[in-house]
Amino acid sequence: MHVVVTDPETLEAATASVQAVVDAIDQACSRFRDDSELSRLGAGNGRREGIVSPLLAQALATALRAAELTDGAVDPTVGAAVRSAGYSVDFGAVAEDGDALTLAVLPVPGWRRIRLFPATRRVEIDAGVEVDLGATAKALASDLSSAAALEAMHGGGVLVSLGGDVSVAGEPPDEGWHIQIAENSRAAITPDGETISIRAGGVATSSTTVRRWRRGGMELHHIIDPATGLPAAGPWRTVSVVAGNCVDANIAATAAIVRGAAAASWLASAGLPARLVDRNGAMTRVGGWPLPGAQTS
């Protein structure tokens, strides 16, 4: 988690607000906590239903919107597929290597098997559906965090980065927010790293190179193609997108990994600045994403 503010005196208030949002999202949406609201809602193998909190309802609505916008390329019913691929515990506890897994080509149940009634916050989940909000909840947390921080700061500007999902709010610095693009959000900032500048909105990067592990000599990763139930096998290893908010940037970046060869034209038609990196490291820039040296977007 990184919190950057334009006025150092507001940093403590901003950081406390961000931490509160992150804690609330974790409690509502984590599939790695038995006591999370999502885990309690998903307990059992039959059809499940209930009234959920406003935050979980928002997270579910965000995930369902992502599925609708991407024609199911980003789908919250990938839970069982992610678990079958070996991502069954918090990533910090996933072994880097292990015995072979038996993986079957099987489409995920599909997002239409989750029904959310926003007015009442009632949720119905069909039997056999395991929900995973990992594709969108972190980006939602980033957007909610920047908004909460700005409110606590009573002015100024703030940038929040949660694992590389970046959201900015308020008045930016005069030169804009400089954001270095990398496959690993923990990578050190370097003078020669590709950097863009934004004044509003969000930036997200989806990559198959960081959350990755081996089973029986097979390389696996966490981005599931809902059409096959297997880790996406397209040509792109990393996609970065700029959008009006972090959620939309994240949706587009994740969908691009899944869509494969058609992703570049899809992003361009949507008017989203994006940088796509293929398996060999070759880069494709669309939608006005600046060439190295231009450093603006």
Phi/psi region, residue 71 (left: phi>0; alpha: psi -120 to 50; beta: rest), is left
Task: Give pLDDT, residue 297.
Answer: 46
User: CB atoms < 10 A from the CB of 39, how many?
Assistant: 15
User: Tens place of pLDDT for every residue, the chain, 297 residues?
Assistant: 999 999 999 999 999 999 999 999 999 999 889 999 999 998 877 899 999 999 999 999 999 999 999 999 999 999 888 777 665 546 565 556 665 555 665 788 999 999 999 999 999 999 999 999 988 999 999 999 999 999 999 999 999 999 889 999 999 999 999 999 987 767 777 777 889 999 999 999 998 877 655 555 555 556 888 998 888 788 999 999 999 999 999 999 999 999 999 999 999 999 999 999 999 999 999 999 998 765 444
Phi/psi region, residue 170 (left: phi>0; alpha: psi -120 to 50; beta: rest), is left
- Please give the DSSP secondary-structure letter assigned to residue 8: G
Helix (H, G, I), strand (E, B) or coil at 293: coil
Locate all alpha helices (DSSP H) within the chain, ordered by sequence. 11-29, 37-42, 54-69, 79-84, 137-153, 246-259, 263-269
Task: Enter the tokens of residue 50.
Answer: 């209930």
Task: Give pLDDT, residue 238.
Answer: 92
Residue that is written with structure tokens 């309690």 in the block: 40
| Rounded Cα gap, residues 60 and 65, in angstroms | 8
| Rounded Cα gap, residues 130 and 27, in angstroms | 17
CA dist 38 → 142, 150, 163, 208, 255 (Å): 19, 28, 21, 25, 23
Task: Give pLDDT, residue 174.
Answer: 95
Task: Enter the tokens of residue 203.
Answer: 């930036």
| Rounded Cα gap, residues 39 and 79, in angstroms | 11
CA dist 157 → 37, 167, 200, 243 (Å): 32, 11, 10, 18
| Pairing of β 274-278 and β 212-215 | unpaired
Task: Give pLDDT, residue 104.
Answer: 60
| Rounded Cα gap, residues 182 and 204, in angstroms | 10
